[in-house]
Chains A and B, each alone.
Chain A
Amino acid sequence: MAMIPLSYSLRSLMVRKATTFATAFGIALVVFVFASVMMLGNGIKETLGASGREDTAIVMSKGAQAELGSTILQNQVGKIAQMGGVAQGENGPLAQAEMVVVITHPKVGTSGVANVTMRGMPDNWLKFRSEARIVAGREPKPGTREVVVGRAARGRFQGFDIGKSFAMVENQPFDVVGVFAAGGGSLESEVWGDLEVMRTMFDRPGLVSSVHVRLMTPGSLQAFKDGFKNDPQLREYEVERETKYYEKQANGLGQFISFLGYAIAVFFAVGAMIGAIITMYGAVATRQREIGTLRALGFSRISILLAFLFESLALSAMGGVIGVVAAMGMTTVKFSTMNFASWSEVVFRFVAKPGTFQWSILFAMAMGLVGGLLPAIRAARMSPIKAMRGSSRRRGWHPGRWLRWLRRPPRCSW
């Protein structure tokens, strides 16, 4: 089949620059939203979902969505640590009970407050939490009110820096002595301190939130789980792999934000597609004589259809590229939001992955394809007799005409 040269379609776009760019801009906007949502989704997964270890299990009370809502009796912790599948260290089984509370604390730079997760941990926690390390300052001394803040929280809340302090209970300030990193996840938005001190201060005698257990191998999870079935008290608890737990945490918020984002993107997409349809219908209307001539010369309906579809695809791809370039700018933006799973604030970034931009441009081209189809069909159905029409009057939609209409002198109606 004979193809109408692609340059014909491309140059026809460039001839009507204003219309082309207006339409491409609409598509770019949609792609920008679309790509940003995808990148935010990636960011959320990276922040929340990348935490945890394959060979670590987390024990919480049944039905608790997160550590915050979970309670475990302190006197059961020993029994849990003794169960099958648990790895042994120099000083016995590798298990650690932790307590999680959320505090409301004033932010820096705004008058607002936000939630911060505080985590109490036993001595030697740095050994167990091998993903964590002190990046500034020093470790807190066990049994004191010394704490370390995650590097994402540092400086974002009042008193969250080395040498400063903040108080939850009057005259019992927490002293910040260091900053920790923990693999880039949501843990880096937390404050960590001594388990016993926090338990007293937050009045939770005899309770912890969760028990983290190092497994002998990642495959030992089932063996560890099985032990819980036989003990009536332990049956109140639930076991999950740490990586899985964090993934779930990420999904809740990730899905919520993605849903919102995609809803907005689809809403915009409808508008941009209507824009593309109007533009392409205009292009077909103004070029009736050209199309008729191509038909008269012997080009088939399919050739005409493809030429106009290609034009629409090129238009939307251009919009897609503009949108993606704008979205790349978002990778430098950071923002914080409430994580509804842990009721605390976490910081997100927009993270681009190799697929992000391909999908965004494909999305744009899908809009071009759908928007261009009806106009292209109209072009393909045009009779070659249109070539014979004498005058070259221009018809169809042109932004210049709208601008003139907008600038028309106002008429007084009374």
Chain B
Amino acid sequence: MSDAQAEGKAADEAAKNPPPYRTQPESPAIVSLVGVGKTFFRGKEPVKVLDGLDLDVPEGSFEALMGPSGSGKSTLLNLIAGLDRPTRGKITVAGTDLTNASDRTLAKWRSQNIGFIFQAYNLMPVLTALQNVELPLLLTSLGGAERKKRAQTALRVVGLEDRMHHYPRQLSGGQEQRVAIARAIVNDPKIIVADEPTGDLDRQSADDILTLLEKLNKELKKTIFMVTHDPAASERASVQRRLDKGRLK
């Protein structure tokens, strides 16, 4: 039996028999990681990025994750968002065990539970703001009129209803990111993950985005998990965490 498998087994045990201090969380954890490890392979050489990581994120919290470059922040975020699977350990998010879910299951699950905000906004350049926001709704059974209405509502929340028919290249960086936020909330996910959402923005636009995230957290009760390098951004969150050498502090 390899080390990794042994560790995986240990993590499973831990999940089955949680230690006593874990049994009474203050509010129910919407994200729960137990003994999670992630190892990448560069050729044949294993690169251990995360190792034996435990994390509970209570529902409705706004958490910021900081840490040096290469410490595995994005890797952790990808695991929580169901974009990748852990090498060891157990991940439960929004009531679903993601540890061994298939690609297909994960895709469906993401479309219903996760809103994504990316550093580079990642809007489709050939679609208008409205069409971009409408994209996640294409994965639902909603009709065209209803999709459009909801996309418009989401754009109103981010204050861009007057830019509906603009293409991304006709918008400023801050506006693009707001469209991306509208896309992230349009199908009403429980959790929003953001990887350096203000990384490409100037101070003013960054502050606007952070204010918007605060609003989503407070008014729409979204759980937000945000990776950032920016201390000012981290300040705005309700919980600050640090990742260093694969361990949470």
- In the assembled complex, the Cα of A392 lies from the Cα of B173 at a distance in Å of 13
B83/A296 in contact, CB under 8 A: yes
Q: Which of A1-55 contact B (CB under 8 A)?
A: 2-5, 7-8, 11-12, 14-15
In the complex, A392 Cα to B84 Cα: how many Å?
A: 22
| Residues of A contacting B195 in the complex (Cβ-Cβ under 8 angstroms) | 388
B126 and A15 contacting across the interface, CB-CB below 8 Å: yes
In the complex, whether A374 has a CB less than 8 A from a CB of chain B is no
A379 CB to closest chain B CB, in angstroms? 14
* Contacting pair A298 B111 (CB below 8 A): yes
**Residue interface mask A379-401, B partner, CB < 8 A = 1:** 00001110111111000000000
- Contacts of B196 on A, CB cut-off 8 Å? 390
Decide if A220 is an interface residue (CB 8 Å cutoff): no
Residues from chain A with a CB closer than 8 A to the CB of B104 are: 300
A5, A290, A298 interface centre (most CB from chain B within 10 Å): A298
* Chain A residue at minimal CB-CB distance from B167: A11
B118 touches A297 (CB 8 A): no
Q: Is A295 an interface residue (CB 8 A)?
A: yes
Query: Whose C-beta in chain A lies nearest to the C-beta of B74?
Result: A388
Q: Give the chain A neighbours of B127 by CB distance below 8 A.
A: 5, 7-8, 11
B239 at the interface (CB under 8 A from A): no
Establish whether residues B108 and A388, one from each chain, have CB atoms under 8 Å apart when the complex forms. no
Contact count band on A? 20 to 34
A-B contact pairs, 27 of them (CB 8 A): A7-B126, A7-B131, A8-B127, A11-B127, A14-B126, A289-B120, A290-B122, A290-B125, A295-B107, A296-B81, A297-B110, A297-B111, A298-B108, A298-B110, A298-B111, A298-B112, A300-B104, A300-B107, A301-B103, A383-B84, A384-B110, A388-B74, A388-B77, A388-B78, A389-B120, A390-B119, A390-B199
The 7 closest A-B CB pairs, nearest first, are A298-B111, A11-B126, A293-B122, A2-B139, A384-B83, A298-B110, A2-B138
Identify 13 new A-B residue pairs, CB closer than 8 A, beyond the known A293-B116, A299-B107. Answer: A3-B138, A5-B127, A7-B127, A8-B127, A14-B126, A290-B125, A292-B122, A293-B124, A297-B183, A298-B107, A298-B136, A384-B83, A392-B120
